[in-house]
C-alpha cells in the first residue's frame, strides 16, 4: 500500500493526508451463529456458565469473561465494525440492535429469558443527566414504577430493564466514573435502589485498571449485583505494569509506515504485518503473544500509526514526558497554549500510559511514543488495553483505534469475571442494604428533639446560610445559644437593622466570630436585591453571587432546603465528618483515600435514592457531629446503624436492640467538645 506524503500548503506549514487502510474484514468465528433460532438450537454446547454482553463493542469485556470461565453466548451493539470484531472471536450470536428502542428492548429481554444466563454484563453509554431527567427519575423512584413504555430511555435504564426482566444470578456493569460522580449521583443511586428492590446485593467501586495489571491510568466505575442479596468480594489487586514492560518488545516503526505486504488484494486478513524482531522479556509481553497462531509466531500485525507532520516531528523531538505544550517553541505551536496546555503528551517508559480513549481515533497527540517521534500504533494501543496480539479489529485503522479506546480492558474484565464466579459460589450474604440503612438513619433523625446542628431544621435558606457561615464547627456548649440568637433574624431585612446587627456582632465577638458578621450583613444586602435566590426552588448556582457564599456552603444550603419542585437538587455532600462515618460503617478507608470517588460512593450507599434519602443525609451530618466522634470512641450504643456497622462489629459491640435517641437513653451527656444531641444554653441569649 502506498503512503500519501506531506503536501506543502504555504511556507512553514504542512499537512498530511489521512492514510486510509488497510481495511480489515475479519472472518467470523467458526462456531458463531447468525440467528436467534440458531443460538437457541445450539444452547447445549455451552457447558460453562452463560453470559450476555450488552453494548459489547469490540468485545474486551467478552474476552475477559470468557477467560474467567464464562461462555459469552450473546453480544449486542449498534456499531457494525465492532460487531464484526466481536463475531470473529466468539462462538456466539453478535446482534446489531438499538437498545434505546423500547420495542427492541422487549424483544431482546424476551430472547435472553430463554438463554438461562448466569450473568448479564455490559457498558451502557451514559448521556449527560439533565435536571429534568433527574426529576423524572426521582418521581419514578418515589412511585416505584418505571418510565412509560413508549419513552425512549437512557441506555443505562435499558440495561436495568433487561436485568429486571431476566433476573440473572449476577450483573456486572462497567462505565466511566462520571456516570455516578455528578453532584446528585442520581444515576447510581437509582440503579442501586432498583437492583436492591429486585433482591440483589449491590457493590460498586471506582477501580483503577493499573491495580489489576492494565498498563495505563484508567479509572472505571464497576457495579456488581448478586441475586439473593449475596455479597461480592472484590478481586485481589495485581502488580503494576509500566509502559516498557507492556510494549518494550515491539520493534521501532516510522509514523505512517505500512509494510509492503499490506497491499495484498486477495488475503487482506494476512496483510500488513512486520516481524517481531525482539523476544518478549516480561510476563505481560509473553501473555500478549500467547494465543498468536503457531504459523504466525513471527508476525506482528497492525503495528501501524498515522503519518507525522514535519513540524510535529520537530516538536516531538524536543519533548520529554514532562514537557507541556506551552513550553514548546512558539513558532511550532499550532494551538493556543493557554487553552491546550496538555495538547501534546509524550509517554514515559517507566510510568503508566495516559488513559486510552476513543479520542485516539481522531489524533494521537496524547499518546506520543516514549522514545520514537510518532504517536502510538494500533497494536501498541491494543496492548495497553490488554488485547492479545492475536486480536485484530474490523474496518480501517481509525475504526480500530476507536474500538480499542471504547473497550473494557480484557485483563480487568477477567479479574472481575473470576470474582463474580467465586462470590456466587461462596453465597455470603451482603451485610448492608441501602434502603434499610437510609430508613434507619431517617427514622433516627426524625426522632431527635434537639440537634447539635440546629439549622438542619431551619425554616428557610437564609437561616441555613447565616448559621453555617457564623457558627459552623462551634463547640456544642455554645451552638444552641448561637442558634437562638440567629433564628430571630429570619429574613435578610432583619440584619439590615442597625440594632439587630450590633446585638449579633456583640455575641459573635464573644465567640471570636465577630469578623463574620460583616460578611453576613453584606450578604443580607445582596439577597435583599436578589430575593428570588432565597426561595427553595432557586438553583444552587444562583446563590453563588452572595458575599460569603462558597460552593460548599451553597451545596449545604440546597441539601438542607431542597424545595419541593420537581427539578429540585439533591447533592451528596461528604462534609462535617460524614466521610468518617462512612469509613467506619463500611470498613473502607474512604475518609483518607479517594474521598471524591469512593468516599462519595460510600455516602450515596448510606442515603439511597428513595423517600428517606433527604432525612438520611441530614442524619449523617448529625451523627458525625454527635455520636460518631472524631476525638474519642464513638457511642455505638445509641447509633442507629450499630447492627450493620463494620466498626461496631470489629470493636466487639453487640446489640439487637432498636436504636434510641439520646433523650430516651440513660447514658450520661459527654463533655462539651464538638458534638452531642441534647444540651441546654449556658449563658443568656442576647435579644436582637
Q: Give the C-alpha distances (Å, rounded to integers) separating 219 from 135, 337, 596, 605.
A: 28, 27, 13, 20
Nearest to 422 by CA among 198, 74, 73, 119: 119
What's the whole-number average pLDDT of the chain? Answer: 85
* pLDDT at 132 (0 to 100): 42
* pLDDT at 251 (0 to 100): 96
Name the helix (H) or strand (E) containing 203. strand 200-208
* pLDDT at 326 (0 to 100): 79
Q: Where does the pLDDT of residue 338 fall: very low under 50, low under 70, confident under 90, or very high at 90 and above?
A: low
The grid cell for 625 is: 457531629
Give the residue with greater pLDDT, 139 vs 688: 139
* pLDDT at 149 (0 to 100): 36
Intra-chain end-to-end CA distance of the chain, in Å: 86
Nearest to 359 by CA among 404, 402, 312: 402
Name the helix (H) or strand (E) containing 77. strand 71-77
In this predicted structure, the answer to whether residue 685 has a pLDDT above a threshold of 50 is: no
In this predicted structure, the answer to whether residue 131 has a pLDDT above a threshold of 50 is: no
In this predicted structure, the answer to whether residue 529 has a pLDDT above a threshold of 80 is: yes
Lowest mean pLDDT among 205-219, 353-367, 382-396: 353-367
Task: Assign domain 36-242+413-426 one CATH number from 3.40.50.150, 3.55.10.10, 3.40.630.30, 3.40.50.2300.
Answer: 3.40.50.150
C-alpha–C-alpha distance, residues 363 and 360, integer Å: 5
Nearest to 616 by CA among 430, 435, 433: 435
Nearest to 609 by CA among 247, 172, 139, 168: 139
Q: Which residues are within 8 A (CB) of 668 and not within 5 positions of it... i.e. 6 or more apart?
A: none
Mean local confidence (pLDDT), 228-254:
96
Q: Which residue has the cell 440467528?
A: 35
C-alpha–C-alpha distance, residues 645 and 659, integer Å: 13
395: left (phi over 0), alpha (psi -120 to 50) or beta: left
- CA torsion sign, 171 to 176 to 181 to 187? negative
* pLDDT at 491 (0 to 100): 94
Mean local confidence (pLDDT), 490-502:
92
Nearest to 321 by CA among 214, 218, 243: 243
Mean local confidence (pLDDT), 485-508:
91
Q: What would the CATH number be for the domain defined by 243-393?
A: 3.90.120.10
Nearest to 477 by CA among 275, 258, 678: 678
* pLDDT at 271 (0 to 100): 60
Q: Where does the pLDDT of residue 565 fall: very low under 50, low under 70, confident under 90, or very high at 90 and above?
A: low
Q: Where does the pLDDT of residue 145 fall: very low under 50, low under 70, confident under 90, or very high at 90 and above?
A: very low
* pLDDT at 9 (0 to 100): 33
Peptide bond between residue 22 and the one before it cis (omega within 30 degrees of 0)? yes
* pLDDT at 343 (0 to 100): 80
Lowest mean pLDDT among 131-135, 166-170, 209-213, 419-423: 131-135
- Number of neighbours of residue 218 by Cβ within 10 angstroms: 23
Q: Which residues are within 8 A (CB) of 136 and not within 5 positions of it... i.e. 6 or more apart?
A: 147
Answer yes or no: are the C-beta atoms of 478 and 682 closer than 8 Å: yes
The alpha carbon torsion through 560, 565, 571, 572 (nearest 10 deg) reads 70
Predicted confidence (pLDDT) per residue in 362-398, tens digit: 888 999 999 999 999 999 999 999 999 999 999 999 9
Q: Where does the pLDDT of residue 253 fall: very low under 50, low under 70, confident under 90, or very high at 90 and above?
A: very high
pTM, 2 dp: 0.85
Q: Where does the pLDDT of residue 596 fall: very low under 50, low under 70, confident under 90, or very high at 90 and above?
A: confident
Angle at 303 between CA 302 and CA 306, to 5 degrees: 100
In this predicted structure, the answer to whether residue 126 has a pLDDT above a threshold of 70 is: no
Per 3-state DSSP, the chain is made up of helix, strand and coil in percentages (nearest 5) of 45, 10, 50
Nearest to 601 by CA among 580, 624, 579: 579
Nearest to 14 by CA among 256, 182, 178: 256
In this predicted structure, the answer to whether residue 41 has a pLDDT above a threshold of 90 is: yes
C-alpha–C-alpha distance, residues 369 and 372, integer Å: 5
Phi, psi of 301 (to 5 degrees): -95, 155
The grid cell for 280 is: 518478549
Q: Where does the pLDDT of residue 186 fall: very low under 50, low under 70, confident under 90, or very high at 90 and above?
A: confident
Task: Encode burial over 51-88: b for 16+ CB neighbours within 10 A, e otherwise.
Answer: bbbbbbbbbbbbbbbbbbebbbbbbbbebebbbbbbbb
Q: What is the 3-state secondary structure (H, E, C) of 209-232?
A: HHHHCCCECCEEEEEEEEECCECC
* pLDDT at 136 (0 to 100): 52
Mean local confidence (pLDDT), 652-679:
39
Of the segments 92-101, 581-590, 631-640, which one has the largest average pLDDT value?
Answer: 92-101
C-alpha–C-alpha distance, residues 430 and 644, integer Å: 10
- Number of neighbours of residue 97 by Cβ within 10 angstroms: 16
Predicted confidence (pLDDT) per residue in 171-182, tens digit: 999 998 887 788
In this predicted structure, the answer to whether residue 541 has a pLDDT above a threshold of 60 is: yes
Lowest mean pLDDT among 99-108, 270-279, 408-417, 656-665: 656-665
* pLDDT at 16 (0 to 100): 40
Nearest to 132 by CA among 567, 570, 568, 609: 567
* pLDDT at 575 (0 to 100): 79
Answer yes or no: are the C-beta atoms of 567 and 184 closer than 8 Å: no
C-alpha–C-alpha distance, residues 13 and 283, integer Å: 44
Lowest mean pLDDT among 153-167, 335-349, 493-507: 335-349
Q: What is the 3-state secondary structure (H, E, C) of 115-157?
A: CCCCEEEECCCCCCCCHHHHHHHHHHHHHCCCCCCCCCCCHHH
* pLDDT at 353 (0 to 100): 96
* pLDDT at 662 (0 to 100): 36
Mean local confidence (pLDDT), 159-177:
95
Mean local confidence (pLDDT), 428-455:
91
> What is the domain partition of the chain in residue ranges?
36-242+413-426, 243-393, 434-650
* pLDDT at 681 (0 to 100): 32
Q: Could you tell me where the beta strands, DSSP code E, fall in 78-122?
A: 93-96, 119-122
Predicted confidence (pLDDT) per residue in 4-34, tens digit: 333 333 334 434 444 455 688 999 999 999 9
* pLDDT at 11 (0 to 100): 38
Amino acid at each position: 500500500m502506498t503512503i500519501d506524503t506531506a503536501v506543502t500548503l504555504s511556507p512553514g506549514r504542512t499537512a498530511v493526508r489521512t492514510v486510509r487502510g488497510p481495511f480489515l474484514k475479519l472472518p467470523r468465528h467458526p462456531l458463531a451463529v447468525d440467528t436467534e433460532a440458531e443460538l437457541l438450537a445450539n444452547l447445549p454446547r455451552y457447558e460453562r456458565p452463560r453470559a450476555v454482553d450488552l453494548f459489547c463493542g469490540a468485545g474486551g469485556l467478552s474476552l475477559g469473561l470468557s477467560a474467567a470461565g464464562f461462555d459469552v453466548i450473546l453480544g449486542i451493539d449498534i456499531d457494525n465494525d465492532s460487531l464484526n470484531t466481536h463475531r470473529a472471536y466468539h462462538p456466539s450470536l453478535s446482534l446489531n440492535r438499538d437498545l434505546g428502542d423500547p420495542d427492541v428492548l422487549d424483544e431482546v429481554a424476551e430472547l435472553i429469558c430463554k438463554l438461562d444466563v448466569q450473568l448479564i454484563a455490559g457498558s451502557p453509554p451514559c448521556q449527560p443527566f439533565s435536571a429534568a431527567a433527574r426529576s423524572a427519575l426521582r418521581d419514578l423512584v418515589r412511585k416505584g414504577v418505571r418510565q412509560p413504555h413508549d419513552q425512549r430511555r437512557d441506555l443505562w435504564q435499558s440495561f436495568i430493564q433487561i436485568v429486571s426482566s431476566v433476573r440473572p444470578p449476577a450483573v456486572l456493569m462497567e462505565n466511566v466514573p462520571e456516570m455516578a460522580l455528578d453532584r446528585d449521583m442520581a444515576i447510581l443511586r437509582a440503579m442501586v435502589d432498583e437492583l436492591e428492590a429486585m433482591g440483589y446485593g449491590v457493590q460498586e467501586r471506582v477501580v483503577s485498571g493499573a491495580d489489576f495489571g492494565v498498563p495505563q491510568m484508567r479509572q472505571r466505575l464497576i457495579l456488581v449485583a448478586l441475586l439473593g442479596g449475596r455479597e461480592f468480594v472484590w478481586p485481589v489487586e495485581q502488580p503494576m505494569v509500566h509502559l516498557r514492560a507492556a510494549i518494550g518488545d515491539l520493534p521501532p516503526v516510522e509514523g505512517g509506515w505500512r509494510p509492503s505486504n499490506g497491499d495484498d488484494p486477495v488475503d487482506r486478513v494476512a496483510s500488513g504485518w512486520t516481524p517481531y524482531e525482539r523476544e518478549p522479556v516480561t510476563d505481560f509481553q509473553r501473555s500478549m503473544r500467547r494465543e498468536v497462531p503457531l504459523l504466525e509466531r513471527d508476525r506482528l500485525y497492525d503495528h501501524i500509526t498515522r503519518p507525522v507532520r514535519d513540524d510535529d516531528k520537530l516538536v516531538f523531538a524536543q519533548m520529554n514526558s514532562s514537557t507541556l505544550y506551552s513550553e514548546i517553541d512558539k513558532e511550532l505551536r499550532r494551538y493556543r497554549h493557554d487553552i491546550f496546555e496538555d495538547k501534546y503528551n509524550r509517554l514515559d517508559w517507566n510510568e503508566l500510559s495516559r488513559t486510552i480513549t476513543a479520542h485516539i481515533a481522531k489524533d494521537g497527540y496524547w499518546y506520543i511514543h516514549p522514545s520514537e517521534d510518532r504517536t502510538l500504533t494500533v497494536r501498541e494501543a491494543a496492548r495497553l488495553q490488554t488485547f492479545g496480539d492475536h486480536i485484530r479489529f474490523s474496518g480501517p485503522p481509525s475504526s480500530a483505534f476507536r474500538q480499542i479506546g471504547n473497550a473494557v480492558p480484557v485483563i480487568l474484565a477477567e479479574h472481575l469475571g473470576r470474582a463474580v464466579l467465586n462470590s456466587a459460589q461462596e453465597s455470603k450474604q451482603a451485610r448492608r442494604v441501602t434502603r434499610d440503612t437510609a430508613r434507619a438513619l431517617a427514622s433516627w433523625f426524625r426522632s431527635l428533639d434537639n440537634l447539635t446542628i440546629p439549622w438542619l431544621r431551619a425554616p428557610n435558606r437564609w437561616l441555613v446560610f447565616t448559621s453555617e457561615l457564623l457558627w459552623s464547627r462551634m463547640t456544642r456548649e455554645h451552638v444552641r445559644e448561637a442558634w437562638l440568637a440567629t433564628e430571630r433574624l429570619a429574613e435578610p431585612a432583619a440584619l439590615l437593622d442597625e440594632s439587630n446587627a450590633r446585638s449579633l456582632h456583640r455575641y459573635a465577638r464573644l465567640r471570636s466570630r465577630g469578623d463574620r458578621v460583616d460578611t453576613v450583613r453584606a450578604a443580607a444586602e445582596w439577597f435583599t436585591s436578589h430575593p428570588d435566590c432565597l426561595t427553595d426552588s432557586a438553583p444552587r448556582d444562583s446563590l453563588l453571587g452572595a458575599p460569603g457564599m462558597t460552593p460548599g456552603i451553597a451545596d449545604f444550603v440546597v441539601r438542607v432546603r431542597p424545595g419541593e419542585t420537581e427539578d429540585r437538587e439533591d447533592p451528596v455532600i461528604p462534609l462535617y465528618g460524614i466521610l468518617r462515618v462512612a469509613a467506619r460503617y463500611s470498613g473502607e478507608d474512604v475518609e483518607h483515600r479517594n474521598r471524591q470517588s469512593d468516599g462519595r460512593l460510600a455516602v450515596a450507599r448510606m442515603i439511597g435514592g428513595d423517600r428517606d434519602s433527604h432525612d438520611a443525609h441530614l442524619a449523617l451530618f448529625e451523627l458525625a457531629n454527635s455520636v460518631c466522634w472524631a476525638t474519642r470512641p464513638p457511642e455505638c450504643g445509641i447509633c442507629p446503624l450499630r447492627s450493620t456497622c463494620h466498626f461496631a462489629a470489629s470493636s466487639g459491640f453487640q446489640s439487637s436492640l432498636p436504636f434510641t435517641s439520646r433523650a430516651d437513653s440513660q447514658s450520661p451527656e459527654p463533655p462539651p467538645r464538638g458534638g452531642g444531641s441534647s444540651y441546654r444554653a449556658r449563658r443568656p441569649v442576647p435579644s436582637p
